[in-house]
Structure 1
Amino acid sequence: ATLPYSNLGGLGDFSTMNQTFVMTTPFFIKGGDDKYPPQGIYYKDVGRQRIEDELGMATLIPFDLYVVNLTEYVPNNWFRSGRSASASPNVTGDLGLINLADNQFCAFKYSFVSQADGEPYVINQPFSFFLFDFDTGVDEGLLTEYTEVCGLDPANPYDLSETLYAPFVQSSIEAIELADAADGTKCFRFFATQPGTGENNPEFASDIFMPLAEMTPFTITNVLPNLLRLNFVSGLSGFILEYQITAAQDVGSSGRNFLFTGQLDVQTDSFIPCPPSFPPEMPTPAPPPLLPPP
């Protein structure tokens, strides 16, 4: 994925706000964000949907992701929000990132966007979304990260590293089940239990989405215990994540980064209609793979 525009909460500057992109992108042209300049983060090419016609010819339809705050957004370092590579001049990476100050709460809406027309893009299969680097400050009870989310699959709402990589990794994340959402999907609250610093942050999704035997010892020991996979139901064009960080020793002096990957390759075989003599039969959908951003 690429990051052509970043102005979360209206706190960006001209170095992160590509006005040409805004003026030429269907989502913004159609008023996808009613503020000007738009006050969100736009990730381009986060996923593709594979469409087959009745002759078996496949077309890959790309879609994007737009993230906007629904409540007051107070970062510690606004310039970190966007992508992990933008956190500082000496940092590389391809993960999405939202920076939040300590002692703050904020709700964020993640919306999938059709590149073609800027309309909401519906994911027609169950899909997964990964969060990384769930940890606390070095002092007990301080700088603890929380997130709350609904829309999760009732059959398998989430996976921690101890499930994904059993029996080799023990998760440091705790989960609390909340009341179900009105649509019957599951809601959970997750929080960190172990301390960590920027030194244990992952950089590239490709370091994680590989067989365990091929991972580095650093990734297995420092990254995997703080990994959370959220499993969403089909039929969604977005979801809301609520982030919270408890206070630092000196309240308002620090913050933390929420890292995520928005890669989604939905390989459902669907037909682009052509007028046949008889309606074609729909093939059995293949399960979506979990792949990193390109």
Structure 2
Amino acid sequence: ATLPYSNLGGLGDFSTMNQTFVMTTPFFIKGGDDKYPPQGIYYKDVGRQRIEDELGMATLIPFDLYVVNLTEYVPNNWFRSGRSASASPNVTGDLGLINLADNQFCAFKYSFVSQADGEPYVINQPFSFFLFDFDTGVDEGLLTEYTEVCGLDPANPYDLSETLYAPFVQSSIEAIELADAADGTKCFRFFATQPGTGENNPEFASDIFMPLAEMTPFTITNVLPNLLRLNFVSGLSGFILEYQITAAQDVGSSGRNFLFTGYALPRK
């Protein structure tokens, strides 16, 4: 995926806001974001869906992703939001990223977008969405990351690393089941239980989607325990994730990054 536009919460600047892209992209032309300039993050080419016609001929349809905050967005470092490679001049990576200040809560809407006409794009099969780097601060109860989500598959709503990589990895994430959504899908709240810093952040999604035997020791030890796979039902054109971070020792002085991606092929 590429990142042609980033202005989450209206906090971007000219270096992250490609106005030419806005003026030529169907989603924005049709008022996909009713604010101007648009106040979200646009990821282009996040996926391709295989569609078969009546004769069994398959076509791969590309689609995009737009992320916007539904409640007040208060980051610690706004310029980090977008993609992990944009977090620092010395950082590489292709993961999606949202930065949030400590002692803050924010709900975000993730919407799939048709490249062809800018309309909501429906995923006609079950799909998974991955979150990484769920951890806490060094001091107990401080800088703890939480997320809450609905729309999950009743048969298998989520997977932790201890399920995906049993018996070699133990997850550091806890899950609490909430009341079902009105449509019968599952809702859960997840939270971190182990401390961590930016040093244990993954860089490339493709480094994780490979056989365990081919992963680096760093990935197995530092990345996998903090991994969460959300399994969504078919027929969705988006979902809402609520993020929360508890206070730092000095309230308002810090923050954390929420890293995410869909499935990616391993790098060659």
TM-score by length of 1: 0.89
Distance 1:34 1:252, change over 3 A: same
**Structure 1 residue 54, shift from structure 2 partner:** 4.3
The Cα of 1:206 is off from its aligned counterpart by 1.2
Number of residues of Structure 1 aligned to a counterpart in Structure 2: 266
Contact 1:261 1:293 survives alignment (8 Å): no
Residue aligned with 1:90, SS? coil
Is the 2:109–2:238 Cα contact (8 Å) retained in structure 1?
yes
Judged with a 3 Å threshold, the aligned counterparts in structure 2 of structure 1 residues 77 and 7 are, in CA distance, closer, same or farther, namely same
The structure having more radius of gyration, on CA atoms, is: 1
Deviations 1:93-127 (A, max 9, x none): 00000000000000000000000000000001010
* Cα 1:293–1:247 shift into 2, 3 Å: farther
- Deviations, residues 204-240 of structure 1 (Å, cap 9, x unaligned): 0111000000000000000000000000000000000
Counterpart contact for 2:210–2:266, Cα < 8 Å: no
Distance 1:156 1:53 in 2: 29
Distance in 2 between residues matched to 1:31 and 1:61, nearest whole Å: 22
1:58 Cα deviation from its structure 2 partner: 2.9
Distance 2:153 2:45 in 1: 25
CA distance in 1 between partners of 2:82 and 2:267 (Å): 14
Q: Take 1:122 and 1:57, find their aligned partners in 2: how far apart are those partners?
A: 20
For residue 119 of structure 2, what is the aligned residue in structure 1? 119
Deviations 1:237-266 (A, max 9, x none): 00000000000000000000000003xxxx
Q: Is the 8 A contact 2:208 2:219 kept in 1?
A: yes
Output the CA distance in 2 between the equivalents of 1:60 and 1:219: 31
- Shift in alpha-carbon separation, 1:174–1:293, aligned structure 2, 3 A: farther
**Residue 292 of structure 1, CA deviation:** 6.7
CA shift for structure 1 position 153:
0.3
Task: Tell whether the 8 Å contact from 1:46 to 1:293 is kept in structure 2 after alignment.
Answer: no
Preserved contact between residue 105 and residue 242 of structure 1 (Cα < 8 Å): yes
Cα pair distance change 1:137/1:92, threshold 3 Å = same
Q: Which runs of 5+ in 2 are unaligned?
A: none
Give 1:59 shift: 2.0
Structure 1 regions of 5+ residues with no counterpart? Answer: 263-290
Q: How high is the sequence identity, in percent, across the aligned residues?
A: 99
- Mapped contact 2:207–2:266 kept (Cα < 8 A): no
Distance 2:176 2:48 in 1: 32
d(CA) in 2 for partners of 1:26 and 1:126?
26
What SS does the corresponding residue of 1:203 show, helix, strand or coil? Answer: coil
Q: Secondary structure at the match of 2:163?
A: helix
Deviations 1:256-285 (A, max 9, x none): 0000003xxxxxxxxxxxxxxxxxxxxxxx
Pairs within 5 Å for 1:44-59: 44-59=44-59
